[in-house]
Amino acid sequence: MTDYILETKNLTKTYGDKQAIDQISIQIKRGAIYGLIGRNGAGKTTLLKIISGLAFQTDGEVLLFGEKTAKTSNLLERVGVLIEAPGLYPNLTAYENVRLKCIAYGINREGYITSLLEQVGLDYTGEKKTRHFSLGMKQRLAIALALVGEPDLLLLDEPANGLDPQGIIEIREVLLKLSKEQNITIIISSHILEELAKIVTRIGIIDEGKLLEEIDKDELLEKTKDKIEIKTGDVEKTIVVLEEQFGIEKLKVIDQETLYVYEKIEESGAMNKALVNAGIIIHSLAINRESLEDYFIDLTGGGSHV
């Protein structure tokens, strides 16, 4: 059996002469929380819509659970979707909103609705109508609706959009819990890398319809960690000086003239002096503090059309 819960192969969608997504090939492993990051208009919603069967590709393939999807595929029953407005009934309670969807799905199990509401932290809302809910509560209810039918894959398009910091934290906690306790695979889109990086295991960066990079979260954090970048004429001797004189242990050799030091950043001036005093030619020594957002902007070529 394939390891991938979702694969897209050269997925392409054109609207007139607009290439909304352009040959996107991604592979998402079971149990992952996969973040799709891109600016407004990058193609995130289009990609999620095609995966969930709400739109159809111009070219390319989608494989869900190792099988090709067709327009009427019953594989899509195993996918929970929250794309654009959640479509809640404002005059009904959280319980009643979920019950309607359960009826549509033919689910009539004792305690089922309450357990879904518990999973998103809304079991306390009682008789309160959803029109009186905060935006964060509405989004969590929308997630509960997407969970009806026990999907294996959950697709969430910008679920934190417009939420206050507390609302964002609540959504994050709900998703982490779902992933941990139920091993649901989640694909979540956002235009804020900082926010995505707090929950995802892997990230796909898209811009102007193209997949620019896929990277594991740990690798991304490693790349964007504060560090001193040293370009030196003698890597080995440089390491000896850094170890002996500064007790440096966290360093990485990048190539035959470059190394990164991940600790004692504030001592960079003293390190430079010590290295030069040891007779080593230092071509450059600079502190590199690249934030996640800087990384994203560098990759997508600036923020001019945010």
Contact positions toward ligand ATP, by CB under 6 A?
15, 18, 20, 38, 40-46
Give 2 or 40: the residue with its C-beta nearer to ligand ATP. 40
Is residue 92 exposed (0-12), middle (13-18) or buried (19+ Cβ within 10 Å)?
middle
- What is the nearest approach in angstroms of ligand ATP to the Cβ of residue 47? 7
Contact 190, 224 (CB under 8 A): no
- What is the nearest approach in angstroms of ligand ATP to the Cβ of residue 160? 12
Contact 116, 105 (CB under 8 A): no
For the CA atoms of 66, 68, 72, 78, the dihedral, rounded to the nearest 10 degrees, stands at 20
- What is the nearest approach in angstroms of ligand ATP to the Cβ of residue 234? 47
Give 5 or 21: the residue with its C-beta nearer to ligand ATP. 21
Distance CA 234, CA 249 (A): 18
Distance CA 271, CA 242 (A): 7
- What is the nearest approach in angstroms of ligand ATP to the Cβ of residue 195? 14
Give 43 or 167: the residue with its C-beta nearer to ligand ATP. 43
Give 278 or 299: the residue with its C-beta nearer to ligand ATP. 299
- What is the nearest approach in angstroms of ligand ATP to the Cβ of residue 292? 18
Q: Sign of dihedral through CA atoms 115, 120, 123, 128? A: negative
Amino acid at 70: A
Distance CA 242, CA 274 (A): 9
Give 15 or 56: the residue with its C-beta nearer to ligand ATP. 15
- What is the nearest approach in angstroms of ligand ATP to the Cβ of residue 52? 13
Give 203 or 248: the residue with its C-beta nearer to ligand ATP. 203
- CA 16 → CA 20, 46, 139, 174, distances in Å? 10, 14, 33, 39
Structure tokens at 137: 């509560």
Give 17 or 181: the residue with its C-beta nearer to ligand ATP. 17
Q: To which residue do tokens 């997949």 refer?
A: 211
DSSP 243: H
- What is the nearest approach in angstroms of ligand ATP to the Cβ of residue 38? 5
